Amino acid sequence: MTSPETGSTEPASRETGSVDVDWEALRELARDAMARAYAPYSGFPVGVAALVDDGRTVTGCNVENASYGLGLCAECGLVSQLQNSGGGRLTHFTCVDGQGEILVPCGRCRQLLYEFGGPELLVETPAGILPLSEMLPQAFGPENLTK
């Protein structure tokens, strides 16, 4: 996939390597993923995109099911692609709705992102770029299972 690390004129809160993150390009990848969502029941397609610590980009879209509880959020597809393409840690994340507008992940998905990005994962929100630690304070994670 194309990397959105192009040194955009948009401000970035954190750098990956020596190049600022192009949040607009990352958002565009999320919009592309959203266009492939399967959302016949809710009519609410979602797409996500994230940068990985090794420079890769991963994406995902929601996939609904007639048995509503079996639907998969876009973040599930994203972390599946992350693991399937070599693993790593998520560093920057964005999510868009059916109109391509920035959308914050639900609580369940914030927990999923915490597992693969940790508290320092930068998340694009309507209020700006925030670390996941501000969106999921006092998160439960792998470190809690070793106590």
Q: What is the pLDDT of residues 62-116, one digit of tens each?
A: 999 999 999 999 999 999 999 999 999 999 999 999 999 999 999 999 999 999 9
Q: What is the pLDDT of residues 21-59, one digit of tens each?
A: 999 999 999 999 999 999 999 999 999 999 999 999 999
> How many whole angstroms separate alpha carbon 92 and alpha carbon 48?
11
Backbone dihedral region of 43: left (phi > 0), alpha (psi from -120 to 50 degrees) or beta? left
pLDDT at 24: 98
Lowest average pLDDT, out of 8-12, 81-85, 122-126, 128-132, goes to 8-12
Task: Exactly one of 75, 115, 124, 134 is catalytic; name it.
Answer: 75
Say if residue 16's pLDDT is above 90. Answer: no
**Which amino acid is present at 52?**
V
pTM, entire model: 0.87
Number of H helices, E strands in the chain: 4, 7
**Which amino acid is present at 130?**
L
Q: 26: which residues sit within 8 A by CB, 6+ positions away?
A: 4, 49, 50, 51, 57, 92, 94, 124
> Both tokens of residue 93?
């994340």
Q: Is 120 annotated as catalytic? A: no
